[in-house]
Structure 1
């Protein structure tokens, strides 16, 4: 599996998409500093999980598929490897980038806090970023399958729209019913801000950590189901060109 993941990353090594795992956090932190000065951490983390990270994930997923579409999947069909493993390899490659970019974001935000004001404790920032990794993973196979069935731009726009619109219900008690709303909700106790960027008042129910484990478990179960289902759908059409 390691070789498959490495192979998938090599396919996009010279593309804009691969550079995003570093570029996206840098852009976010730069905007945060320009807009908020010493309160850069609040703004940067808020823009990260509401706007920048969903777009970045969608671009990655669409890019891994578009590079195959350009060759009519010939690079895939010529391999004597189970098609399910190839699909899972693509998903794991994107998951690696997702994990790395969250590490970069956390490191950058913590560094900015050292030189400005540490508004968000480094440990809280770390747990918030790692939770974002866990609860976004389930979206990877769906976005990638959408890119395969439609096109690059459609996949990016639909994914972005679902994530943005879902923040409206993130503070509801029924946020579990919309998995897209989970990221904006479970980071509230760590980043201590509403999805709209306003600081959360002390004693708010949004600071309750009791919702985190159920939300993460739901996201991971969805991830397993989506990985398996999309792998089956990929193999089902493995000899047909989109």
Structure 2
């Protein structure tokens, strides 16, 4: 499996993907620093998981599969390799890249917010920021095999558009509703409420904020949310790997 992963890594090492994992986490940090300095840290996180993170995942996953798709997968299918392992290696490469991007975002937000003390009205305790980044990585993992599969079937533009729209609309609109558990796109935003005390609409989770309810601060949703999204990631990864294994050069 290590050889397959190394192969996928070498394919993307000197491409736009390598730059994307640095550009994407930098954008919410820069925007919140310039536009909403007093609420820097909460806005940096909110803009990250509502828009920039899902957008990065969508684009990253499509770019990973489009390189082989442009050649109708002949470069892969003509070799005596295990296609299931190739797919798994692609998924693992994407996982590694979103972890790196998340750590860059975490470091930038914590350094500016906690070390430099910027944004006193939107500060997040360091331990909460670290936990939030870990939870976001876990609860977004399931989108990796989904986006890779969609990119293989319907192409880059449609995949990116569908995933971003679903994350932005469903993630914000349903995260505070009773239908939360039926819509995995809403889980990351919902779990951020008790962890960093920020609503999906970017407002602080306090009584004066629109859509706030006291029960939203309960951390009892964190473990079920993680279990649901991890289970979905495992199911989608193996299901799409089995689908990829049956592909033939056309």
TM-score (norm 2): 0.92
**2:21 aligned with 1:18, yes or no?**
no
Give the Cα separation in 2 of the matches to 1:191 and 1:9. Answer: 33
Per-residue deviation, 1:117 = 4.0
Partner SS for 1:187: helix
Give the Cα separation in 2 of the matches to 1:85 and 1:195. Answer: 37
Q: Is the 8 A contact 1:65 1:144 kept in 2?
A: yes
Aligned to 1:240: 249
Aligned to 1:185: 190
TM-score (norm 1): 0.95
Aligned to 1:151: 155
Give the Cα separation in 1 of the matches to 2:4 and 2:112. Answer: 36
Per-residue deviation, 1:173 = 2.6
Deviation string, structure 1 residues 107-163 (Cα, Å, up to 9, x no partner)? 110001121146001110111111011111111111101000111111111111111
Q: Which runs of 5+ in 1 are unaligned?
A: none
Give the Cα separation in 2 of the matches to 1:162 and 1:7. Answer: 32
Deviation string, structure 1 residues 178-237 (Cα, Å, up to 9, x no partner)? 011101101111221110101001682221110110111011111111011101111122
Aligned to 1:139: 143
Partner SS for 1:164: helix
Q: Which runs of 5+ in 2 are unaligned?
A: 208-212
The range that moved more, 97-106 or 2-11, is: 2-11
Give the Cα separation in 2 of the matches to 1:35 and 1:27. Answer: 12
Aligned to 1:222: 232
Give the Cα separation in 2 of the matches to 1:174 and 1:152. Answer: 29
**2:135 aligned with 1:126, yes or no?**
no
**2:221 aligned with 1:211, yes or no?**
yes
The range that moved more, 94-103 or 10-19, is: 10-19
Q: Is the 8 A contact 2:199 2:205 kept in 1?
A: yes
Give the Cα separation in 1 of the matches to 2:75 and 2:214. Answer: 53
